[in-house]
Amino acid sequence: MAFIIKWNLSIGIVAFMAYVVQKIMGKRLGHYWRKIVWILLTLKMCFPFWSVTEKFRQHPFMISMPAYYIGEQNQKTAIMTKMGNVSIRGWMSGEKFLPYIWIAGMILCLLFHAIQYRIWKKRIFAECKKMQKNSVLEALKKASEVCKIKKTEIWVCENQDFYSPMLFGVRNTKVLIPQEMLETENYSYEEWYLIFLHELTHQKKHDLWYKRFLQIIRDVYWFCIPMLWVQKMANIDIECVCDETVTKHMNLTQRKDYCNVILKVASKQTKKELSGVVSMVSETEILKERFYNVFLARKKLRIYVTVFLFGIIILSFSEMQIARQIWSSSHIENCPKCKAAVQGEVVWNAWENEKNVVCTHQYAWGDDLQKARYGVEKIRCNECENFFEIKIRQEKIVCHGYND
């Protein structure tokens, strides 16, 4: 349960901060920085149980060593009673079933999207054919030369479920063109060039791989509600970054023509979001933000953002090295200097009363008394003569019903 709460809170905080920063600094930063944030976040989510700080917290300087002391009479009964109560509480809490529920939900989500992708792939191969129109092929050739992409195929699809050009296939990527665009709409050579320039920019930036990877992370963390928000913002960032790249060297008139093409395609945009594709127009409500981003004359702050991100990465690695050194100095199995096996001697202080705890023993007339004592383990390495000390802690519980 703590794992679920942790990731919901962590991703929720990151998503909220990214949303707020984009609203405040979006005019200067654009959307590229937020795309980097999502990439770093998803990479971190690939290792859900690995954390340097958590590893350090699990090996503190104060090592707890619980020990229960109960009377000799009915000792076996008391132990069985305590173990029974613990197992009942664990069964009632149901937390031991959470990993199985997580794995089951993850498998179902992954299977659902994998089957959905296979169904779309079969339909595309069954209902699509290669483009034969020369003017459209010439526009594709020109866009391919600009994006420096050697091989890309255009397929005309007769499927009625989508109305905008899109990329499909992470390996053999194809540009899908709806049949209706060729029959009812009259697109000029320049308009086809802008359409293919947009789609091939997605291919050049490997947005299909990025979108598929983001979907897999969402399926793995299906219990994490903020991931829906993250995925929605990530899709916006994909389109805005692509628009920024396409219009980077365009003048005002060319940018207007580019936005007019997007509006022309969006006039018959489908409401259904397809899995495993990157379309030219995703949702109508996003168009306003995309157009604003295209015409925005932002200041050149990319270099400062890059330096800032690299600074965070460097500080993170520095913290990892410091944490590893601290953790290694508190680990008593091997010498941190020469890695040889070591043995230590513990010097204990007197027992101290700490607090009363609820007694779980049968026929006990009072609460248990928890006692604790502290000690120092002195360790010397016989190989390199290295000497260090570690503080440790030991507990015991005295039950009035048995000890007195």
Q: What is the share, in percent, of the chain residues with pLDDT greater than 70?
A: 61
d(CA 404, CA 398): 9
Q: Are residues 84 and 173 in the same domain?
A: no
Residue 54 lies in a domain: no
Residue 397 lies in a domain: yes
Q: Are residues 128 and 197 in the same domain?
A: yes
* Domain limits for position 72: 62-89+329-404
Q: Are residues 122 and 250 in the same domain?
A: yes
Q: Are residues 75 and 178 in the same domain?
A: no
Residue 382 lies in a domain: yes
328: Cβ–Cβ under 8 A, 6 or more apart, which residues?
Answer: 336
Domain-terminating residue out of 274, 297, 320: 297
Local confidence band at 367 (pLDDT 50, 70, 90 cut-offs)? low
Residue 349 lies in a domain: yes
- pLDDT score at 66: 40
Q: Are residues 234 and 333 in the same domain?
A: no
- Per residue in 41-94, pLDDT (tens digit) is 888 888 776 554 444 443 334 333 343 333 333 443 333 334 444 443 444 445
Q: Are residues 73 and 110 in the same domain?
A: no
Residue 6 lies in a domain: no
- pLDDT score at 290: 83
Coil, strand, or helix at residue 46? coil
Q: Which of 26-30, 101-105, 165-169 has the highest average model confidence (pLDDT)?
A: 101-105
Domain count for the chain, please give it.
2
Q: Are residues 119 and 181 in the same domain?
A: yes
225: Cβ–Cβ under 8 A, 6 or more apart, which residues?
Answer: 8, 12
Domain-terminating residue out of 277, 297, 317: 297
d(CA 332, CA 145): 62
Q: Are residues 81 and 108 in the same domain?
A: no
Buried b (16+ CB within 10 A) or exposed e, 100-121: eebeeebeebeeebeeebeebe
Q: What's the full length of the chain, in residues?
A: 404
Structure tokens at 95: 């937390």
CB neighbours (10 Å) of residue 142?
16
Q: Are residues 251 and 136 in the same domain?
A: yes
Q: Are residues 81 and 113 in the same domain?
A: no
- Per residue in 214-270, pLDDT (tens digit) is 999 999 989 888 888 888 888 888 888 888 888 888 888 888 888 888 888 877 665
- Per residue in 128-182, pLDDT (tens digit) is 777 777 778 888 888 888 888 876 666 766 656 666 788 877 777 788 888 777 7
Q: Are 108 and 217 in contact (CB under 8 A)?
A: no
Local confidence band at 205 (pLDDT 50, 70, 90 cut-offs)? confident
Residue 317 lies in a domain: no
Q: Are 246 and 198 in contact (CB under 8 A)?
A: yes
